[in-house]
Amino acid sequence: MAQERVVVIGAGIGGLAAAVRLAAAGLDTTVVERAPHPGGKMRSVPAGGRAIEAGPTVFTMRWVFEELFADCGARFGERIALAPATLLARHAWSSDERLDLFADVEASAASITAFAGAREADGYRRFCARSAEVYRTLEGPFIREGRTNPAGLARRVGLSGLGDLWRIQPFATLWSALGTFFHDPRLQQLFGRYATYCGASPFSAPATLMLVAHVEQAGVWTIAGGLSNLARAVADLAAERGAAFRYGRSVERILTEAGRVTGVVLADGERIPADRVVCNADCSALGAGLFGPEVAAAGERLAPDERSLSAVTLCAVATARGFPLAHHTVFFGRDYRAEFDAILRARRLPADPTVYVCAQDRTEAGPAPEGPERLLMLVNAPADGRERPLTPPEIETCARTLFRRLEACGLTLDLASPAMTTTPRDFEALFPGTGGALYGRAARGWAATFKRAGARTAVPGLYLAGGSVHPGPGVPMAAQSGRLAAAAILDDLASTARSRGAATRGGTSMR
């Protein structure tokens, strides 16, 4: 029998994870990527004569990659240099309001006691216990498995697990749940920020997102060369296992015949035949018909208010003075609710934004850099990059408010050269069909998670991967989606060999 041919559209981490697993299983695997390099959102950009990581900067859930590499006969730790973080992040509200969080719960509790008192530290301990419970409840049946729904999740946890499922407060918002642990509004703001990891507002995101706290306590690492280096390592392993990469090439259309996938056609007219296609583009790109009308129903069309957050980012080389930056530092605006109302209701940039800064040359082991250092600065923004792109005056105002927030907390920056700015319109250009949304569908309400597509689609031979599908956004989750897509293909091939049946919609167990 001829070797099964698979085309993977997109060399983001979801597509790379699928490609390396499929190539290792012996399938004829070709990855087509419109950019000149792998990584997708895991990218670096030149600024001030240096390369700055301009995408994700936090690495967690190491087990996803350890299992991925092991499945392909390799050792993750031998391919990637990792350094565990003791200090998770530094947080500031003003020049004299600072709080560090650590990987060790009791170290963080001591920090919170000094910052806000013993009662808040006790609330933090209870919060950590609950976040661990949420994670334990969801890891097996939800994160490790394919597309599910509320009834399916209940069946997977079984009668003995229904109490655990209820205790994780699936119908509460993150903000309301935080109020049961913390009285200090600054701590509610700090832990409410976990909603933005999924591009959502803490005032509408489900309380289950508190699991991010446990994920970080289970381990945060820095990667030598940044997360873009992780993408290169996965791509290199896929190539070693036999995958072919076509960089700088864009897929114009997914081809079908009699309703089944038969290959892809590139923008230059070249056709690549395939028995299976893994689309690692955003589901909105499929839904918008960017890969042809025949497969548009496999995607989704989101109104602007259904999209996750976008961002305005500034990458710069600068000398920092007056504030002891950590590798990860968050500078909070004064009114969190007003900030999200501005972004999600008024569809404009907030007047006093929360600013995330990744100081990429700072490590816990070494001294602070002397002179200019590489900085990524980010503020949340509405995902209106297609319908209403920011004007130059709005972008200039955004930069001023960003620096004003830093200065209010005691940090001044002397830029060595102009910052490289990326706006929602730029993100839409990089990732067409998204409007600039960085995380697919917004996690709004308890049911939003179950609206994400799974690995399989209703189009036989078409599979999905990436941060816009199950199990969700973020580097490890997107990689897990690629593992799920590969597992679905391998399971379908096995079942086809037995019964010649067609693929069906839904997910598959990774156990």
Query: Any bridge partners for residue 39, and if so which?
Result: 12
pTM for the predicted model, two decimal places: 0.92
DSSP assignment of 455-471 equals: SB-SSTTEEE-STTSTT
The CATH code that applies to domain 5-81+225-302+443-499 is 3.50.50.60
Distances (CA, A) of 358 to 187, 300, 444: 21, 33, 27
What the block records as the tokens of 47 is 């600024």
What is d(CA 316, CA 57) in angstroms, rounded to the nearest whole number?
15
Query: Any bridge partners for residue 52, and if so which?
Result: 45
pLDDT under 50 in the chain at which residues?
1, 147, 153-154, 156-168, 500-511
Phi and psi, residue 254, nearest 5°: -95, 120
For residue range 349-370, list pLDDT tens digits in order: 999 999 999 999 998 877 889 8
Residue found by looking up tokens 């030598």 in the block: 224
User: What ranges do the domains of the chain cover?
Assistant: 5-81+225-302+443-499, 105-218, 305-430
**Would strands 5-9 and 276-279 be described as parallel, antiparallel, or unpaired?**
parallel
CB contact at 8 A, 442 and 448: yes
Phi and psi, residue 30, nearest 5°: -125, 130
Q: Which residues contact 107 (CB under 8 A, 6 or more apart)?
A: none
Residue 499 pLDDT: 56
Residue 78 pLDDT: 96
Residue 509 pLDDT: 33
The per-residue pLDDT of the chain, averaged, comes to 91
Residue 161 pLDDT: 43
Phi and psi, residue 291, nearest 5°: -115, 20
What is d(CA 428, CA 481) in angstroms, rounded to the nearest whole number?
22
How far does CA 112 lie from the centroid of its chain?
Answer: 28
